[in-house]
Structure 1
Amino acid sequence: MAPEEYDCIVIGAGIQGSFTAYHLAKHKKSTLLLEQFALPHTRGSSHGQSRIIRKSYNEDVYIHMMEESYELWSLLEREAGVALHRHTGLLVMGPENGKDFQCIKGSVEKNKIPVVELQRHEFSQRIPNVNLTEGDAAFVENTAGILYADRAIRAAQMIFQQHGGVIKDGQKVLQIEPGSMVTVSTGSGVYRAKSLVITAGPWANTLLKHVGLQLPLKVVKINVCYWKEKVPGSYSLKNHFPCFIQLQPKEAEYDIYGIPSNEYPGLMKVCYHMGSETDPNERDKQMDKSDVDIVSRYISRCFPGLEPEPAVVESCLYTVTPDHHFVLDHHPTFNNIVIGAGFSGHGFKFGPIVGKMLSELSMGQKPSYDLSLFSTGRFHTHSRPNL
């Protein structure tokens, strides 16, 4: 049989790939979205019920991207007729004189993001059931909240299909042949397109081998933990408890974050923002629980209303770059192959705007934002991870 032909093929139907396909289809490009697993699935990085959405970042480019991303999330809500976001606010805590806290605080103030600074003497009244670490300061970003992750992916894929897009799941890519028409072979078919976008998450380097490129991407398994409230509702959305980020906790090198109890009644999601390196195909053999122990110690010290042993432990994969910034770029040799990778555990909320920029690169347009921070030609500096 002759290969099916499209304007563009997108490999990987997580949030980045689904939004890339969504934007391409809305630009009337015939688009195929390929996924190796049967949809929906829990083997990658985009599944689960909740993610934090916020603008509190060190870098102006992320803040500006998030401003448009909020607009695009709202647009998808209207198109799909389903709620994808809930406002909660975001509590940011960290060493008052620490570089990370000062940089984020300075950045949100410069960009006029609405925040409320919490003085230590009023903290316990404003944020009950949380012990602020000695020497830490805190503020609340008012515009932040929760994204409903699984619901969001379904919505983006639904609108993509309404615009004529084609999804083929259960199709593992076996070969990619570059050329003026890129050929993609799976176990079930052969497909050709004028351009290709690779958004394969933890499997990015597996696919990039086919086109002679390897990026410094590390895949880590994250233990996603839910902790039982001693008094039901103490940390719940109904009681207006915010999401939070703890910068530079005493227990460990990386940040800790949390989302109020919602998806599992009476259980609050609190996780360490790093995990143990793994092969994405062998993740279930990675049994390291050191991240769970870190969060348990933190909860014992700072969240007295939670049981310090997790009630539910699920898992997720991060694909981490050395500097914890994304990869959004053309292949250095094949200009009609575009790469979206290395979202380093903080990319979900950027899905709509990342998809827009990857689609722009695929169509040969100038991207909406300066992508120099995200080029494949960097990887010479290291910085703290973002959430």
Structure 2
Amino acid sequence: MSLMQDYDCVVIGAGVQGSFAAYQLAKQKKKTLLLEQVCQTQTSKYTKAFIPSFQNGTFISPHRQTGLLVMGPEHSGDYQLFKNTLQRNKVPTVILTRDNFPQHIPNVILAEGDGALVDVTAGELFADRALKAVQFQKLGGVIRDNEKVMEINPGPVVKVTTSGGVYQARSVVITAGPWTNKLLAHTGFQLPLEVVKINVCYWKERAPGTYDVKQRFPCFLVTESVETKEHIYGLPSNEYPGLVKICYHMGSKTDPDYRDLQTDKSDIDILKRYVARSMPGLIPEPAVVESCMYTLTPDRHFVLDYHPNYSNIIIGAGFSGHGFKFGPVIGKLLCELCLGEVPSFDVSPFRIRRFQSNTKSAL
């Protein structure tokens, strides 16, 4: 075990939120350590809070503009929320009708009673390139991967013990995704978080190029379908040539340390039925199945707040499968909270106090 090392801030978790938080702290000339244990309907609320970041250039992660096709029962609350939010914020949007839908979106069958629109500004974010864009170490930051946090001792100076060292800092930012509550247990506190495993599915085109971005096929979101009340989303073929990514926006409960033991495939069965009904140009059997994890809050909104008992421990958690695209802004907000500054955006909807009786002390 190495000698104790001092930092202004230790960020635990080097995903997109932690990486951008560490970047912002290092940019503020704070001596920052980033720890990682491995090697490297809600639209209205988020649009109001974060749309300025797209407009003023804060959001600069590598992406490709494809447009976003939104489909769902025309008079349902979820579909109307998307439509009204886009229009209220003057986002360039094309409303499709049942008559012109096949002309604009071939090889997709629009369900009876569904509405459809396209946000023409939307696109696909390349996660690996986005993380590489965070030049944290060039600003003097230190990253330690393959170091699992074994203990957190709160206090005016927080001591963090890992599998590879002991560190102390004036403040700690926890952005540990599915492992958030395992870390918070060291501080005697638990958030109402649920971890689920998502099957990430890729579907083979019957004719290569049918759903390719070169053919102007957009990303898409189904707010509700005959198969499920949950969202289904898809991206044009890109990661694997000739394969289209279509996933179910929900999964089954799992322990992040044993997620491979969770083998539920009910979400894949839902997707098979949807693809067979709506995407005639795809073979309705996934060609590749990978996995990821969501960390869900009860209301599916983020947690961006101070620890209720230790103001020098800041928590960014519960991103519920839709936080990655906000990484640059969330990193800035976590940095501001860490420095005791007034946040750039209103974070009151993301405070821990909204859960009240659902939060508890760790046993």
Q: Are residues 60 and 13 of structure 1, via their aligned partners in 2, closer, same or farther at CA, if it must alter by over 3 Å?
A: same
Query: Which sits farther off after the overlay, 339-348 or 62-71?
Result: 62-71
Match of 2:361 in 1: none
Conserved 8 A contact 1:4-1:191: yes
User: Which residue does the alignment assign to 2:80?
Assistant: 102
**Of 217, 223, 227, the match for 2:199:** 223
Kindly state the Cα deviation for residue 66 of structure 1 after the two structures are TM-superposed: 3.7
Change (3 A) 1:222 1:61: closer
- 8 Å contact from structure 1 (residues 92, 246) kept in 2: yes
Return the offset for 1:188: 1.1
Contact 1:323–1:379 (CA under 8 A) maintained in structure 2: no
Between the aligned partners of 1:104 and 1:226, the Cα distance in structure 2 is: 26
Aligned alpha-carbon RMSD (Å): 1.5
The whole-number CA distance in structure 2 between the counterparts of 1:61 and 1:227 is: 30
1:133 to 100, 111, 114: 111
Using structure 2 for the length normalisation, give the TM-score.
0.95
Q: Is contact 1:57-1:63 (8 Å) kept? A: no
1:61 offset after TM fit, Å?
Answer: 4.0
Structure 2: state its 5+ residue gaps.
Answer: 359-363
Partner in structure 1 of residue 53 of structure 2? 68
CA contact (8 A) 2:205 2:282 kept: yes
8 Å contact 1:60–1:107 — kept in the other structure? no
Q: Which residue of 1 aligns with 2:121?
A: 143
Q: Name the structure 2 match of 1:46.
A: none
- Cα shift at 1:154: 2.2
> Structure 1: how far apart are the matches of 2:97 and 2:89?
22
CA deviations over 1:239-296 (Å, ceiling 9, x no partner):
1110000011110121100000011000000000000000000100111010011011
Contact 1:69 1:350 in 2 (8 A): no
Q: Moved runs in structure 1, 4+ residues, more than 3 A?
A: 60-64
Report if aligned partners of 2:197, 2:259 keep a CA contact under 8 Å in 1: yes
CA positional deviation for 1:63: 4.0
Q: Which residue of 1 aligns with 2:44?
A: 59
- Residue identity opposite 2:170 in structure 1: K
Q: Secondary structure at the match of 2:136?
A: helix
Unmatched 5+ stretches in structure 1: 41-55, 78-83, 383-387
Separation in 1 of the partners of 2:211 and 2:52?
Answer: 28
Q: Which residue pairs with 1:21 in the alignment?
A: 22
In structure 2, distance between residues paired with 1:175 and 1:62:
37
Whether the 8 Å contact between 2:47 and 2:85 is mirrored in structure 1 is no
CA distance in 2, matches of 1:317, 1:61: 21
Q: Distance in 2 between matches of 1:220 and 1:66?
A: 28
2:167 to 191, 204, 212: 191
User: Does 2:2 correspond to 1:5?
Assistant: no
- Aligned residue pairs total 356
Q: Does structure 1 conserve the Cα–Cα contact (< 8 Å) formed by 2:49 and 2:346? A: no
**1:39-92 deviations in whole A, cap 9, x for unaligned?**
22xxxxxxxxxxxxxxx9532443431440562232xx5xxxxxx110000000
